[in-house]
């Protein structure tokens, strides 16, 4: 990137009242966690198209994740999923991660693939099944402690397919009872991130179906319980940026699972279909980060766990992850270019078109000179996708063959 290009960009932004050095620092602080399960084979209920060279075990998943961090400089942690990432020695997995410049991020329990969970896990009418599921949650808290992870990220497939199949209120109370048992196991510096999902795999009701149910559950459990917003988990046309602002104001936004969807939980490359939505989400976060009048909201914003939750079924996985990280950075960078003082003035004056223009203007800025400058300063590749393509890593791992790890 030419210095001239960057100098012109910087001059333009200064003229807009933007502190570019501050924006660069904010972008450098944005770290996005990759999901171990995103590197293994994945698919839909119709077909898993096995890919040549996918990792054969959790250790190789971390090696692939290390490529994403190597070229972007912005994804130093990897979420694990138990039992998909079960190993005999978690400390060995942690040391392996550290040898690659990575840390183990959120620990994700799995109470949706065992036959016993056919009619639910922590909402199952059979107390023995609820206990089995709760024991697994406790096991995951213990694994988190062993690998010094500070977050256990919870998603439940629990739900029903037909009216009358189960008692909604009993299930709600069973869930709370099991989650309280898990909550009580958390260390003071740990947190549980409660994810919700509108539907799937249950098709009539899902026990944690929306942000309100997750928020209510987190409130009942205590301050170490927060809400996880998966961007693919909402009804069509849901205003996710409003949900995010509400949770920030309540100091209950714990993190994100970024992906994009057209119609359902498609787990596709984040912002591939609707980048504006992710920008508007980021704009709420940046406004909270900079809100001097609400230190609680800015603390919450500063403590968000940014994670990808994606499965690349037809495209090569490592470059798809790199693309996703770049998309998140791009939209966060744009959100940092909103002149918040000007926006506040326009809002106070209720000048609709001025306020809309202040936000739109930032969205329409080409931030590539800014991102290239940041990448140069942090020692990442100026063009991560090109650098990965030219690295030969994708070819090297083909020797692993087919039939590697899958979820
Ligand atoms: C699926 C679920 C949910 C969960 C993820 C990892 O829909 O998003 O977070 O698997 O368990 O995507
Ligand atoms: Mn998710
Ligand atoms: Mn999902």
pLDDT digits (tens, 9 = 90+) for 250-268: 999 999 999 999 999 999 9
Spatial CA neighbour of 137 closest among 182, 107, 105:
182
Atom of ligand 1 nearest to the CA of 311: 12
Cα of 9 to ligand 1 centre, how many Å? 39
Residue 223 has pLDDT above 90, yes or no: yes
Q: Answer whether residue 244 is part of any domain.
A: yes
**298-307: string of b/e by CB count within 10 Å (b at 16+)?**
bebbeebbbb
Q: Answer whether residue 390 is part of any domain.
A: no
Determine the average pLDDT of the residues in 366-376. 97
Predicted local confidence at residue 40, as pLDDT:
97
- Evaluate the omega torsion of the peptide bond into residue 201 and state whether it is cis, within 30 degrees of 0: yes
Q: Which residues surround ligand 2, an ion (CB under 5 A)?
A: 230, 257, 309
Cα of 327 to ligand 3 centre, how many Å? 19
Q: Answer whether residue 404 is part of any domain.
A: no
Number of domains in the chain: 1
Determine the average pLDDT of the residues in 334-345. 98
105: containing domain: 30-339
Residue with the two structure tokens 């971390």: 62
Say which residues have a Cβ less than 8 Å from residue 25's Cβ, sequence separation at least 6.
none
Q: Answer whether residue 49 is part of any domain.
A: yes
User: Kindly report the CA angle at 160 between 159 and 163, in degrees rounded to 5?
Assistant: 140
Rounded to an integer, what distance in angstroms lies between the CA atom of residue 342 and that of residue 294? 19
Residue 407 has pLDDT above 80, yes or no: no
- Ligand 1 pocket test, candidate residues 257, 308, 313, most atoms within 8 A of CB: 257
Ligand in closest contact with the CA of 307: 2
Q: Answer whether residue 233 is part of any domain.
A: yes
Residue with the two structure tokens 């060995």: 92
Classify residue 292 by burial, with Cβ atoms within 10 Å: 0-12, 13-18, 19+.
exposed
Cα of 310 to ligand 3 centre, how many Å? 8
Q: Answer whether residue 10 is part of any domain.
A: no
Q: Which residues surround ligand 3, an ion (CB under 5 A)?
A: 265
Q: Answer whether residue 81 is part of any domain.
A: yes
Predicted local confidence at residue 1, as pLDDT:
53
What is the rounded (10 degree) CA torsion for 322, 327, 329, 330? Answer: 140
Q: Give the DSSP letter of residue 112.
A: S
pLDDT digits (tens, 9 = 90+) for 125-182: 999 999 999 999 999 999 999 999 999 999 999 999 999 999 999 999 999 999 999 9
Q: Which residues line ligand 1 (CB under 6 A)?
A: 81, 108, 155, 195, 197, 230, 257, 265, 267, 309
pLDDT band, residue 405 (cuts 50/70/90): confident
Write out the DSSP string of 144-176: HHHTT--EEEE----EESSTTSS-HHHHHHHHH
Predicted local confidence at residue 404, as pLDDT:
87
Q: What tokens were used for 268?
A: 């596709």
Residue whose CA is at the smallest distance from ligand 1 atom 7 = 265
Domain containing residue 195: CATH number: 3.20.20.150
Atom of ligand 1 nearest to the CA of 110: 11
- Evaluate the omega torsion of the peptide bond into residue 83 and state whether it is cis, within 30 degrees of 0: yes
Given a contact cutoff of 8 angstroms between Cβ atoms, the answer to whether 288 and 248 are in contact is: yes
Residue 214 has pLDDT above 80, yes or no: yes
Residue 369 has pLDDT above 70, yes or no: yes
Residue 360 has pLDDT above 90, yes or no: yes
Q: Answer whether residue 200 is part of any domain.
A: yes
pLDDT digits (tens, 9 = 90+) for 46-99: 999 999 999 999 999 999 999 999 999 999 999 999 999 999 999 999 999 999
Through-space distance between the first and last CA atoms of the chain, rounded to whole angstroms: 40
Cα of 166 to ligand 2 centre, how many Å? 25
Residues facing residue 108 across a β-bridge: 81
Residue with the two structure tokens 């609820």: 130
Q: Left if phi > 0, otherwise alpha if psi is -120 to 50, otherwise beta: which for 210?
A: beta
């Amino acid at each position: 990137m030419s210095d001239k290009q960057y100098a012109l960009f910087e001059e333009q932004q200064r003229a807009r009242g933007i502190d570019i050095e501050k924006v660069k620092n904010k972008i450098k602080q944005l770290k996005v966690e990759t999901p171990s399960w995103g590197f293994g084979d994945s698919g839909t209920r119709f077909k898993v198209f096995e890919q040549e060279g996918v990792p054969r075990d959790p250790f190789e998943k971390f090696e692939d994740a290390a490529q994403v961090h190597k070229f972007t400089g912005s994804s130093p942690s990897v979420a694990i999923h138990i039992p998909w990432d079960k190993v005999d020695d978690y400390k060995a997995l942690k040391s392996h991660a550290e040898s690659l410049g990575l840390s183990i991020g959120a620990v994700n329990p799995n109470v949706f693939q065992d036959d016993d969970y056919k009619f639910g896990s922590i909402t199952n009418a059979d107390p023995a099944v609820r206990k089995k599921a709760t024991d697994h949650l406790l096991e995951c808290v213990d694994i988190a402690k062993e690998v010094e992870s500070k977050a256990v990220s919870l998603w439940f497939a629990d739900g029903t397919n037909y009216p009358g199949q189960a008692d909604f209120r009993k299930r709600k109370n069973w869930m709370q009872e099991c989650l309280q048992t898990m909550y009580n196991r958390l260390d003071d510096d740990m947190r549980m991130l409660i994810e919700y999902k509108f539907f799937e795999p249950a098709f009539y009701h899902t026990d944690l179906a929306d942000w309100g149910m997750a928020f209510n559950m987190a409130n009942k459990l205590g301050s170490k319980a927060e809400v996880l917003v998966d961007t693919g988990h909402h009804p069509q046309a849901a205003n996710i940026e409003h949900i995010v602002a509400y949770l920030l104001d309540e100091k209950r936004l714990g993190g994100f699972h970024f992906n994009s969807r057209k119609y359902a939980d498609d787990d596709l490359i984040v912002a591939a279909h609707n980048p504006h939505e992710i920008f508007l989400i980021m704009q709420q976060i940046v406004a909270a980060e900079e809100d001097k009048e609400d230190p609680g909201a800015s603390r919450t914003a500063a403590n968000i766990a940014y994670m990808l939750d994606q499965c690349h079924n037809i495209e090569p996985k490592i470059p798809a992850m790199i693309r996703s990280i770049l998309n998140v950075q791009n939209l966060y960078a744009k959100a940092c270019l909103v002149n918040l003082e000007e926006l506040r003035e326009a809002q106070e004056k209720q000048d609709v078109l001025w306020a809309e223009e202040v936000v739109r203007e930032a969205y329409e800025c080409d931030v590539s000179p800014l991102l290239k400058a940041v990448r140069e300063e942090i020692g990442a590749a100026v063009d991560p996708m090109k650098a990965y393509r030219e690295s030969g890593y994708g070819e090297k791992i083909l020797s692993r063959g087919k039939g590697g790890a899958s979820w």
